Structure 1
């Protein structure tokens, strides 16, 4: 279902004005500006002005609606996808994962501010490793001393070879010893810095601060997030839905919803043969661009999209309010008031909800700011025959 915007406005809460509807929705009968104890010197200045909003109408003047950010749209039937709500997780793509390795053996210290979810740049120090106070000492420091000794011996023999005071074999032995010592020494290990191989997000820290690590041991994982993977778990009882899966919407804690189609999302696999790692569930995999505002490792609710049905009435999730276990929407009954309408809900795709009963095509529904209309209802539900006399 598509909705045509009627007005979109910024809001400023001014609840006291909720109590006054200043224009007619039903009948207009005369207009009076004569009040007790107030006289006008001009003839014909006595008028009567009456506003009838009907029984139970929620009075909200257009000016107040604009200030409060209330938006309305016309209800129009439109295609709506069948959905299945399941749990899921956002994962980094395997090709985009880099490993931060220990440059030497020793005690690891995680750098300040480095945690899962931290953004890092290529070459940034993730941790430092030192062999001080470790039994056996710093192997790399010993390698550095050996290299320096071999270099001094090579420098001593080189001029002697030119003078014929040593043999070629003596020189070659000295050169070989230096090259071997040089290969054993690591300048990176000397600094003790374990750096990120790429820019991205820390997805896991694999060691504890203060732990002993061996040379080459994995300290952390970094995902560049050029592409991300969504893993959705479909209960085996819903296996028949797998052949219908065409897309997915992720909904995170706090209500934010992301349609992966908006981030170049693609279905990778939805075959029952993929089951195994999670008994009772069949994993469905999608990948999508890392431009989506999500962090690898995040848990999410997933609305898997199946076949589309035409001419379905649906409204944004923000249009639905709950009260005493029932669901309602607000329908504009005239320019100055709204009616609270009970509705029966159907499927949801994470962003919109199917309305099975309670709303008709062509009606004008509140799609944003329903909370403010509800406040207006609590403050000023207009009684039958509501009127203003001036």
Structure 2
């Protein structure tokens, strides 16, 4: 046991001796006193622990660079902006007819179907006609017989071999026969159901064997080339409307594109109950449009050409006044109040406040403060450089460039 305690004491003594030696080695004198090791010839002096950075400031005291806010920018461009009058419409065809039978009879032929495009006068269906065809032949033969008889009577009367009275009677008989023949032809013609206009058959209302009566509707035809968009406009806009004025029409059921149109007619009367006037718009491109479709209408009332235009999403509203963040040549976003002009769904005219060529923030402006540094990209994702950095990236356009 005594031997064990002696061993522990020796170990503690060794540890204390090691600690004393380390402490003595670390306490080196600052000057050339006792224990100072001389520097060998050509040896560089020891560098201070905190080397001074370029510019004379210690690295550990360098101020962190100001953080840049990522944004997307777009240039102010010149463009054309228009003032629109918005209205709604239900499309209709100017020319659409219900084809009716002009006679009573059984349908024996159907020569057109729903969806067929037909021309004016084209045969669509036919009623039973055999009896009427025979009657027309008899009337024609009777007319031809009496015409020959009248010609013989004329020759006899010229030679004074026939009295004037008898000659006139043959003329009257011939005229009666002609009328009978015309009536028979008309009755036969009425068994032919034809298209009164050119267009598309939208409905067929008879089948083979159907007994139709006079004035029964058998087909419906619509001329899609006569498609118009009627719009009811408040009477206060009447002085700004004229025939031929440009407009656009969009029907959701036929795609999202706007189709060019123009004012075809303006009603001469104003509806007393609604205070509106009907304006008919002719549509230039009618592909895919159908009567009865709901459509949006925009009538151009005024136009500003070659004016500063920015994306509508660039606007920031503060205190009920519109602002834009304009990025200067140092890459700082400056909040600038602007005056607005005409606008559409995506763009807005800037009547005062910016110049074409300046860069405005279109994405990220909600996180900006006036004068904040930005890390900018254009709308295609390419970085935009400012100041000296512009040499290595996309140059920022100079203010006022068109």
Range into which the TM-score falls when normalised by the shorter chain: 0.3 to 0.5
TM-score by length of 1: 0.45
The structure number with the bigger radius of gyration is 2
TM-score by length of 2: 0.44
Q: Which has the higher contact order (CA 8 A, sep 6+)?
A: 1
